[in-house]
Structure 1
Amino acid sequence: MARVRILLLGGTTEARELAPRLTALGFDVVSSLAGRVAEPVLPAGDVRIGGFGGSAGLAAYLRDEKVDAVVDATHPFAEHISANAYAAARDVGAHHLLLRRPGFILHPEFEVVPDVHHAAAAIEPGAHVFLTIGRQHVAAFAHVDARFLIRAIDPPTVLPHHHVLLLDRGPFALEDEVELMQRHGIDTLVTKDSGGSATAAKLDAAAQLGMRVIVIARPPVPEGADMIGEVEAAVDWAARLL
């Protein structure tokens, strides 16, 4: 009897936790990474790196590789990948699950904006900003009149004129975040509501220091998608396929 094949769209902590759990259940698992990080932390098992060419290309891959189910455990802000995954799975009749970790616990005084452009417009002139949004959308802040401490895994291609670039990967401890913000004279934190424990400490540090916090809200998920928030629940969902 052929093993059930799962395409696990990953790059997140949850995807790396899920891959060996699914393999242990007896699934044939291929983890797919978009390739946007130069040196990604690889999950256990078979790994595919690179895009598919939109929903049509992904659908063709699912057919060609006889994939039975797609588990989308990508970053909460990978909205295009998630939309393509849902559409492709629906087109070929494959099972589909969206694994999205819960968002951050936000203090009432935090300011929530819909996207990076609103976040850039909200920054006060002359502010000292800790920008932790990944590298892809830093260009939206290139012409903002402020000083930036930018933390990312890989260097952005476009940077603001006044900046310090810090290449680092979480998890980050609360005391280290407090020290970092104080050392750089930060008064404003701009971040995404990406959730997860690895980077949550920056929000607690900013609240502790009484600074302004601007949080970019998550994009919507595909309408109709079956979504859960925990790895254990994803394992249970997959087990029912057997």
Structure 2
Amino acid sequence: MHQDCPRLWLVSGTGEGPELAAQLLQRGWQLTVSVVSPSAAQAYRSHPGLAIHVGALGDEAGVEAELARAAAAGRPYGVVVDASHPFARQVSHQLAAVCRRRGQRLLRLQRPIPEGPATLLPELKELRGLPLQGESLLLAIGARQLGQAVACSPGARHHARLLPRAHALQQAMAAGLSPERVACLRPGAGLAVEGALLRRWRIGTVLARQSGGATERLWRHLCSREGLRLILLARPPEPEGSELLAQGALLEVLDALLPPPGL
């Protein structure tokens, strides 16, 4: 691909990342995609216009370093796209702060919020106010907040659905969950597997996150089908000044930044 093709830095952390990257490459962008893990990188197909960076950004200095590196090479990014997870607050705030200081255009991919009945919690501590005494509660909020969720629902029988990672299992044990009440499954296990898990544990309430992606849609569907109560931890507010765009609108904005054909 020609050196003068417009360049874009895509900071990914959602299932939309690979599809978005493929569409941008097809439109003529050159991409640098940042993902956290090697397994996440495997979802991206090899392409001459695609470079994959694996590993956490670190802090604002890491964001500064990447933008400065591209500029020093004479190939600065025309735009940065934040497609990190809605609950990856630190990443989004770091990107917003650095891009604001540098005058760098930053677009934020906004996941849609599915409709349907659910109890929305602005903060996890408000779990204390819900009637969960004796309830079989499935915690599907990731490992990082397990300890707080267990502490805020002392009367419930806790179960957890986690990613198959050693650190996640360690956090579940540290939160006091019994091994027989922890399931480590990869994303996309499917309705049959997740539904069987709910029935095996006789779950009455599911606590998940308002992520807006396939995982939230899965829990909404299962809770509706099985007649379970769904509690959603509200997604955190976006950084001040974020240019929030749904995927279709995001692509339209990026299309307008491309040079006319033939130039």
1:161 counterpart residue number: 176
**3-state DSSP of counterpart to 2:20:** helix
Runs of 4+ residues over 4 Å off in structure 1: 172-176
Q: Which sits farther off after the overlay, 24-33 or 174-183?
A: 174-183
In the alignment, is residue 139 of structure 1 matched against residue 140 of structure 2? no
Q: Which sits farther off after the overlay, 88-97 or 169-178?
A: 169-178
How far apart, in 2, do the equivalents of 1:43 and 1:83 lie?
25
In the alignment, is residue 27 of structure 1 matched against residue 25 of structure 2? no
**3-state DSSP of counterpart to 1:200:** helix
Report matched runs for 1:19-98 at 5 Å. 19-35=21-37, 39-40=39-40, 41-44=42-45, 45-65=50-70, 66-98=76-108
How far apart, in 2, do the equivalents of 1:52 and 1:197 lie?
25
The Cα of 1:74 is off from its aligned counterpart by 0.8
Q: Which sits farther off after the overlay, 191-200 or 12-21?
A: 191-200
Report matched runs for 1:103-122 at 5 Å. 103-107=113-117, 110-119=118-127, 122=130
The Cα of 1:174 is off from its aligned counterpart by 4.2
How far apart, in 2, do the equivalents of 1:238 and 1:14 lie?
16
Q: Deviations over 1:40-68 (max 9, x none)?
A: 35323321122333224312321221222
The Cα of 1:31 is off from its aligned counterpart by 0.8
How far apart, in 2, do the equivalents of 1:169 and 1:205 lie?
17
With normalisation by structure 2, the TM-score equals: 0.80
Point out where structure 1 has 5 or more consecutive residues left out of the alignment.
none
Q: Would the alpha carbon gap of residues 76 and 167 (structure 1) be closer, same or farther in structure 2, given more than 3 Å must change?
A: same
Point out where structure 2 has 5 or more consecutive residues left out of the alignment.
71-75, 259-263
Q: Is the 8 A contact 1:52 1:58 kept in 2?
A: yes
Q: Is the 8 A contact 2:11 2:81 kept in 1?
A: yes
Q: Is the 8 A contact 1:63 1:92 kept in 2?
A: no
State, as a whole percentage, how many aligned pairs show the same letter: 27
**3-state DSSP of counterpart to 2:136:** strand
Q: Would the alpha carbon gap of residues 123 and 4 (structure 1) be closer, same or farther in structure 2, given more than 3 Å must change?
A: farther
C-alpha root-mean-square deviation of aligned residues, in Å?
2.3
Which has more helix, going by share of residues? 2
